[in-house]
Structure 1
Amino acid sequence: MKAIIPAAGLGTRLRPLTFTRPKPVLRVAGQPIIRHAIHTLVQAGIRDIGIIVSEVTRAEIQHAVRELTDLNITLIDQTRQLGLGHAVLTARDWVGQDDFCVYLGDNLFEKGAAPFVEAFRQTRPDALIALVEVADPTAFGVAELDGTRIVRLVEKPKTPPSNMAVAGLYCFTPRIFEMLDGMPPSARGEYEITDGIQRLIESGADVQGQQVEGWWKDTGRPADLLEANRLLLERLESQVEGEVVDSQLTGRVVVPASSRVIRSKIQGPVVLGENVLIEDAYIGAFTSIGRDSVVRRAEIEHSVVDAEAVIENVDTRLQDCLIGVRAQVRGGRRVPRTHKLTLSDASVIELV
């Protein structure tokens, strides 16, 4: 069985973070989002993974997966971004006659892909779709069910047939390509995977729904990234190998051998990347600090700091922050009560 991860889009809902980088390479819990997706597919026994990329995203995606070994990763070019159905059809030649899974790389599942892949392998319907119960189904593709069988699938309906929304994981036989091939675009000009699945249903195919167990997170917005970071850090196991001088580490903390913590306090769960310096600082729970970053004479908690960032001389504790690659936060004289920041890569903020 193979897997497809669509990663050709621009992630406009996460701007300004995605002005310079595609969404799948943004980090949560110390790793690019796409690596979490790949990890869960490998845990499900899938090692042939095709990543759909565009001219804009190819280089960053290739860089994010360069160190992964013991699996076969193929980058598949999508020259135009015309919807998820089009992205899947782009991978038709690569998939061949194999069964395959489509995993939206910005989605995270507490129990991963394995429950869905295993159920699909056991019963082998024409399609198996991950479903999650939501409060407002109008923002999702929604399934109408007869037991576990999906009898109708509607994209963002004004009057939802149920509250069971399509989550970001699908398992298919190659029959889905016959439905996508020649399918007309939707009203918004895209080729919707839900329309392809509906055609599959109308052809008499067996399309099954399986409810997500545990939490599910779509990391499409800044607040979702912070929540995903929190959920993943809940699983963290302590590993302190780096230099710790006159400091207090409480809870689950990861300090790589190349990182240093000097005269500081860290309240876990917290993960530090390689070659990080924490000096005269406080790092609060549910925070991840990217490689080559510096936090000096500052306090930060419940935040995601990417690589090569600098935070120093900030008198007010930073909370709920997303700080991009090479971004800088430097303090001054004025001390507002709180700061909440979403900074794109290479930005510089002077707090004076």
Structure 2
Amino acid sequence: MKIIVPMAGRGSRLRPHTLTVPKPLVPVAGMPIVHRLVRDIAGILNQPIEEVAFVIGDPAFFGPDVEESLTELATSLGAKGTIYRQDKPLGTGHAIMCAEPSLEGPAVIAYADTLIRASFTLDPEADSVIWTKKVANPEAYGVVKLNSDDHIVELVEKPETFVSDQAVIGIYYFKNVGELKAELQYVLENQIINGGEYQINDGIKRMMSQGKIFKTGTVDHWMDCGNKTITVETNAKMLNFLYEEGAELVASDVSLENAEIIPPCSIASGVVLKDTTVGPHVSIGADTTIESSNVKNSIIQSETTIKNATLEEAMIGNKVHFNGQFKAISLGDYSELK
């Protein structure tokens, strides 16, 4: 089994946190988004992962440190890590085709901007499985249309009339991803463009027209990381899941001096808490110091110093120095408020 991860976008909706760090590497609940997504997919598949192929963007932004992080992620799963580049933002179909040499055999394609919780077995009769989540407002999403056999027969974007309540979340399984590659090659060669880009849906629709069987795999939870507010919400949800599962979330060398941690919180190695209350739902990166503060429902990254602060629904980047009485803030890397 292979996992293909298109992740060349800049994550503009999550700025300033993505000005220096690619969005899929922004940590949520103590782990970069793409690391947690790939690990969770591997767990659901419950079979050996042969290769994890990442499609990243401009080398000036997705540099050697990004490549190293992604390769280490693949290696930790016992898989080969392969890096491809998408030089121009030409759509989801184009991004997948940038990984063309890896598009053979069974594979999962997953876009690295969401997190999931799921437990299901891939249907061996299906040529493809499109992972979905039941939603209350399907008109806001791309949804699947099912026939009487519960096979997917159509993909409908933001339907004005009810089609189904199963929203497409951006994760797909193909028994032979080479079949998708052939159809996307046709899409590119014939310049089949929707919304100004080459779309994965056009390749999927061509497969459907040839009688390929598509089924749904329904996830229990689908969590977005699109902007600051939603990312902080996702951090809280993921911390709850991990805490309930008994995960070790607080490093053994965290220094506490007249400080309290209210779980669930993810606190990395080297963190110092002094005259401070942290939690619930706080993630803190390595070597960060927080003094004389009260922090809850927030994400604070590595090597940052926080003093005299009351923070809630805050998101603070790496190497930040913050001293003040602000509350719901969003500070990118290297910011200083004194």
Q: TM-score, normalised to structure 1's length?
A: 0.85
The residue that corresponds to 1:162 in the other structure is 164
- Alpha carbons of 1:128 and 1:259: their partners in 2 closer, same or farther (altered >3 Å)? same
The residue that corresponds to 1:244 in the other structure is none
Cα deviation 1:171-207 (Å, max 9, x = unaligned): 1122111211131343421111122211211222212
Give the 5 Å matches for 1:94-243: 94-96=102-104, 98-111=105-118, 115=120, 118-120=121-123, 122-123=124-125, 125-146=126-147, 147-159=149-161, 161-172=163-174, 173=176, 174-183=178-187, 184-212=191-219, 214-236=220-242
In structure 2, what is the Cα distance between the partners aligned to 1:260 and 1:202?
Answer: 61
Q: Does 1:341 align with 2:329?
A: yes
Q: Check the 8 A contact 1:155/1:194 in 2, yes or no.
A: no
The residue that corresponds to 2:57 in the other structure is 54
In structure 2, what is the Cα distance between the partners aligned to 1:224 and 1:85?
Answer: 26
- Alpha carbons of 1:158 and 1:13: their partners in 2 closer, same or farther (altered >3 Å)? farther
Q: Check the 8 A contact 1:326/1:345 in 2, yes or no.
A: yes
In structure 1, what is the Cα distance between the partners aligned to 2:65 and 2:10?
Answer: 12
In structure 2, what is the Cα distance between the partners aligned to 1:137 and 1:194?
Answer: 18
Letter in 2 for 1:339: K
Q: Check the 8 A contact 2:22/2:62 in 1, yes or no.
A: yes
In structure 1, what is the Cα distance between the partners aligned to 2:304 and 2:32?
Answer: 16
SS at match of 1:65: helix
Q: 1:340, CA displacement in angstroms?
A: 0.5
SS at match of 1:93: helix
- Alpha carbons of 1:182 and 1:215: their partners in 2 closer, same or farther (altered >3 Å)? same
Aligned length: 323
Identity %: 30
Letter in 1 for 2:141: F
- Alpha carbons of 1:15 and 1:323: their partners in 2 closer, same or farther (altered >3 Å)? same
Q: TM-score, normalised to structure 2's length?
A: 0.88
SS at match of 1:165: strand
Larger RCO, structures 1/2 (Cα 8 Å, 6+ apart):
2
SS at match of 2:122: helix
Give the 5 Å matches for 1:232-311: 232-236=238-242, 254-311=249-306
Q: 1:166, CA displacement in angstroms?
A: 0.5
RMSD value over aligned CA atoms?
2.2
Aligned to 2:83, which of 64, 75, 80? Answer: 75
Q: 1:38, CA displacement in angstroms?
A: 2.1
Cα deviation 1:102-136 (Å, max 9, x = unaligned): 1122221112xx62xx314x22x222101112233
Q: Check the 8 A contact 2:103/2:181 in 1, yes or no.
A: no
The residue that corresponds to 1:40 in the other structure is 40
Q: Which runs of 5+ in 2 are unaligned?
A: none
In structure 1, what is the Cα distance between the partners aligned to 2:311 and 2:80?
Answer: 41
Q: Which runs of 5+ in 1 are unaligned?
A: 239-250
Q: Does 1:312 align with 2:313?
A: no
